[in-house]
Structure 1
Amino acid sequence: MERKVQIYDPAMCCDTGVCGPSVDPALTTLATAVHALKKEGYDVERYNLANHPAAFAENETVNGLLHQEGTEALPAVLVDGEVQKTGEYPTKEELTSWFELESKDLEVQQPKLTLDVQQVKGE
């Protein structure tokens, strides 16, 4: 059975965490991991309260969580509809365990660069 992971973010201007005066490394790590999972066809979605308020209202679990704990419960992470984590983002280790992957599976491959070590001098 394929798992479904839903991440409900607090209101913010972007998903990567690089849009403000300080960069949140947890957000950049999460954005990279989510991108890698989606690229491989895994069912993982993120919802930003500022951009997708209907997703929060329509999900009974998240809606109830917000009524009980307020926005302090965000981010909220659901796996197959069940709350797995609130108040902080999932780690790469948690994501890999939920999808039964290895940590290396979420590493983003950097393109290899080819450098010409010969210099051509013009006269």
Structure 2
Amino acid sequence: MRKVEIFDPAMCCSTGVCGPSVDPELTRVASAIYSLEKKGFDIKRYQLTNDPDKFAENQEVTKILNKKGPDALPIILVNDLAVKVGSYPTNEELAEWFNVKAEELTKKPKARLSINLDNLK
């Protein structure tokens, strides 16, 4: 099974919905990761602000950051090898890495709600 790790730059949240404007790219990535996690795939996301130890412990990430600086972020590793530097993976790339359809990564989570109106009396 493939392992994908995403090393994010320093930011307040990984969803892209905080701050003065929404970043649609971060929202897309967060949604795709959520879908993959729900399917049981091995995908992790580390943020420089919250997980500096993960950056320091990873030799590949440390090497890239020493060479290119923080502008290299995000760094994407597949099975411990850097496959993308400076941008997030597309849904098509994620789908290829995990052998799923790209459309599966854009589906919104569905929740079923059951309401018993008899209990409202």
Shift of 1:110: 5.1
Using the size of structure 2 for normalisation, the TM-score is 0.88
Query: What stretches of structure 2 of length at least 5 have no aligned partner?
Result: 113-121
* Partner SS, residue 49 of structure 2: coil
2:21 aligned with 1:31: no
Give the aligned residue type for 1:77. Answer: I
State the identity %: 50
Give the aligned residue type for 1:30. Answer: V
Shift of 1:109: 4.0
CA distance in 2, matches of 1:91, 1:108: 15
Using the size of structure 1 for normalisation, the TM-score is 0.86
- 2:88 maps to which residue? 89
Give the aligned residue type for 1:35. Answer: Y
2:39 aligned with 1:60: no
Greater C-alpha radius of gyration: 1
- 2:41 maps to which residue? 42
**Root mean square deviation of aligned Cα:** 1.7
Give the aligned residue type for 1:80. Answer: N
- Seen in structure 2, the aligned counterparts of structure 1 residues 109 and 26 have a Cα distance that, compared at 3 Å, is closer
Question: Alpha-carbon deviations, 1:70-93, whole Å to 9, x = none?
Answer: 001000000001111111111101
Query: What stretches of structure 1 of length at least 5 have no aligned partner?
Result: 114-123
Give the aligned residue type for 1:17. Answer: G
- Seen in structure 2, the aligned counterparts of structure 1 residues 110 and 55 have a Cα distance that, compared at 3 Å, is closer
